[in-house]
Amino acid sequence: MKKLILMALCLNIQAFNQKVRDLSDECPETRNFHHIVQLGSKKQYISCNKIHQYDRIISNISAIAPYAPKVSLIIHRASGNASFDYGGNISIPQSLIFPGKYGHTIYGNQFKISSIFAHEYGHAVFNEELKKREFFKVFNLYSRRISELRVKNLLAYTNGNIGNMINRTKDQMNDLSERRKQLDYIKMRDFITAYSELYADVVATYLVNQKSDIFEALYHDSLNDRQYEMLKARSFSNHGDWEDFYHTPHSLFAKTRAYIGKEYWPKTQAEKKKYLSVILKAIMAEIDKKYSEYSTFNAKRLNNDLIARLEEIRKTL
């Protein structure tokens, strides 16, 4: 009996090793978040000021974007990674650090986390349009459920693990992730992701009127030559040998980015709003036309067709 109690105690201690703060309580009066949680050590301080800054970024994007979905915000330990999870959660690091080539840590420009956050929210905007498509519906449904479970799971660390919520939600998430992996959509995910990365970069760079904003946010001097080239592909003022960029979803639309930087660079708030809507429609028209045969198109063709479509619309604007 004693042993059982001890084991139960150990399990609970293990469960509560994870430090989670429920910032929705600590920082009320945000408009655009369902939940705000922070993972990691309690020493990793993040101010409500910062949270309100993220909230304002969404409000500012809402003023120019075709959709303004509410999301949950998960702030994790310092890293160089951020994500939107296809459901409803944006994860961003508490501060920006990159691994240096000699094993040292490089501190990124902390002000640029806002740009990375805006980029991730751009994915959420893109998702709102994509989820109207039949081929994305079930994937989206599972993803939304996984997002909700993830928040529930994290909040159980701070609100109490009633009914073993931590393990229960973890099992449910694993089960759904496995089922999600079996969906046909997985096969074409890279094809869609390249478009989503392009659109998310447009949203983030429009917001601050800075063509090389994402490049600057992720730049550090320990990048190797290839990483540097791939990052350059994110700039809207890049002029390169396009075929060098065709190999990753983040860089595939480098040529289209350069075209947008030249022909779709907004001068006013009204133009930002118009162009964000036009670009999303053009991308979706391309996806609708090509998704059933996505594997037959190469990157060069995908760029040229999207640019041609945008150019056609531009003449009517």
- Applying CB under 5 A, which residues contact Zn ion? 197, 200
For Zn ion, the closer of residues 203 and 258 by Cβ is 203
Choose between 44 and 210: whose C-beta lies nearer to Zn ion: 210
CB-based contacts of 38, cutoff 8 Å, min separation 6: 20, 21, 23, 44, 46, 74, 75, 76, 94
Closer residue to Zn ion, CB minimum distance, 21 or 250: 250
Nearer to Zn ion, 200 or 302 (CB): 200
CB atoms within 10 A of CB 120: 22
Min CB(110)–Zn ion separation in Å = 19
The full DSSP string for 178-222 is: HHHHTSGGGGGHHHHHHHHHHHHHHHHHHHHT-TTHHHHHH--TT
Q: Looking at this protein, which amino acid is placed at residue 37?
A: V
The C-alpha atoms of residue 120 and residue 256 are separated, in whole angstroms, by 20
C-beta of 85: minimal distance to Zn ion in Å? 11
Nearer to Zn ion, 85 or 197 (CB): 197
Please name which of 105, 96, 50, 54 lies closest in space to residue 77, comparing C-alpha atoms.
96
Write the DSSP assignment of 53-86 as a string of letters. Answer: HHHHHHHHHHTTSS----EEEEEESSBS--EE-S
d(CA 120, CA 201): 9
Cβ 312 to Zn ion shortest distance, Å: 27
User: Smallest gap, in angstroms, from Cβ of residue 197 to Zn ion?
Assistant: 5
Q: How far is the CB of 296 from Zn ion (least distance, A)?
A: 25
Compute the chain's Rg from CA coordinates.
21
Q: How far apart are CA 108 and CA 112, in angstroms?
A: 8
Evaluate whether 277 touches 66 at the Cβ level (below 8 Å).
yes
Give the nearest distance from C-beta 208 to Zn ion in angstroms.
16
Closer Cβ to Zn ion, 200 or 310, answer by number: 200
Minimum distance of Zn ion from residue 123's CB (angstroms): 6
SS3 36: strand
Question: For residues 148 and 201, which CB has a smaller minimum distance to Zn ion in the complex?
Answer: 201
Positive/negative CA dihedral, 207, 211, 214, 218: negative
